[in-house]
Amino acid sequence: MSHFGRSGPPDISDTYSLLVLNITFRTTADDLFPLFDKYGKVVDIFIPKDRRTGESRGFAFVRYKYADEAQKAVDRLDGRMVDGREITVQFAKYGPNAERIHKGRIIETAPRSRYRSRSRSPSRKRYRDDYKDRDYRRRSRSRSYDRYERDRHRGRDKDYRRRSRSRSTSLDYKGRGRGRYDDERNSRSRSRSVDSRSPARRSPSPRRSRSPQRSGSPQRSTSPRKSPRGESPANRSRDGRSPTPRSVSPRGRPDASRSPSPRNSNGDE
């Protein structure tokens, strides 16, 4: 999958994981490898992906063999422009080998003068065991649900993700997640209901149904060039092309929506 050739975590012995944030959703492990491998021995790169869509989640885990090389990669690659976005490289906190980072004292290895305090934990060594009780278990679950919900209502409310953590467990992502698949899968069984409501929600005038033109073509009654500023090119093209809009069918099934076949529609019903 997103590995170099293995199915699971290769060998987390004496390895140090880095968390790479803010990468593009199109960036793959192969794209990050040459970047990180230049600063040390990269053992593995893993990019978590969405369970449903399989798309990248926007961050990756780069596993180094040595701590000093990992730290060097953080210094060199943190803030680097990758695929048009500035990535954020930091040590993984909640990973399976988070303890190893402590043993290696990576944090203290390079107290370099990095004024990027945006992703630095000065004294994180004390919370070695806290990462489990704090967010680890909740996060691994809530965060996933958050994403699932956010993908549907994306862009509607930015603050929505903050408060959704509390109630996210109440929702079942399987029901919602597979819902879209069920629509496509059972579309033939539900073709009647789908076709009947599809044109209504796709068309800007649901009640008018497929009668956008009031009475006659306005283009014919009024001069099209009368508009001083080019009223709207889209308007002319819409009315000018065909007074009767093309089939309002959402997909390639125009027959089902406007002219229901006796055998098809009745058969499903």
Partner DNA sequence: GTTGAGCGTT
Q: In degrees, to the nearest 5, what angle opens at C-alpha 253 toward C-alphas 250 and 256?
A: 105
One of 72, 73, 78, 95 touching DNA (CB under 7 A): 95
Least Å distance between CB 104 and DNA? Answer: 13
Of 146, 140, 138, 144, nearest to 163 by C-alpha is 146
Distance, in Å, from the CA atom of 72 to the CA atom of 109, rounded to the nearest integer, reads 10
Of 162, 157, 78, 67, nearest to 120 by C-alpha is 78
Least Å distance between CB 239 and DNA? Answer: 25
Helical spans, DSSP H, in the chain: 29-37, 67-77, 98-104, 106-109, 130-131, 137-152, 160-167, 173-185, 191-202, 218-221, 233-241, 254-258, 262-268
Size of the site for DNA (CB under 7 A): 46
One of 23, 35, 89, 107 touching DNA (CB under 7 A): 23
Least Å distance between CB 117 and DNA? Answer: 14
Coil/strand/helix, residue 42: strand
One of 33, 66, 127, 136 touching DNA (CB under 7 A): 136
Q: Which is nearer to DNA, 3 or 236 (CB)?
A: 3
Q: Facing residues of 46 across strands?
A: 61
Indicate whether 59 belongs to the interface with DNA (CB under 7 A). Answer: yes
Least Å distance between CB 49 and DNA? Answer: 9
Q: Which residues bind DNA (CB under 7 A)?
A: 1-3, 7-9, 12, 17, 19, 21-25, 44, 46, 48, 55, 57-59, 61, 63, 85, 88, 90-98, 135-136, 139-140, 143, 147, 150-151, 154-155, 158, 161
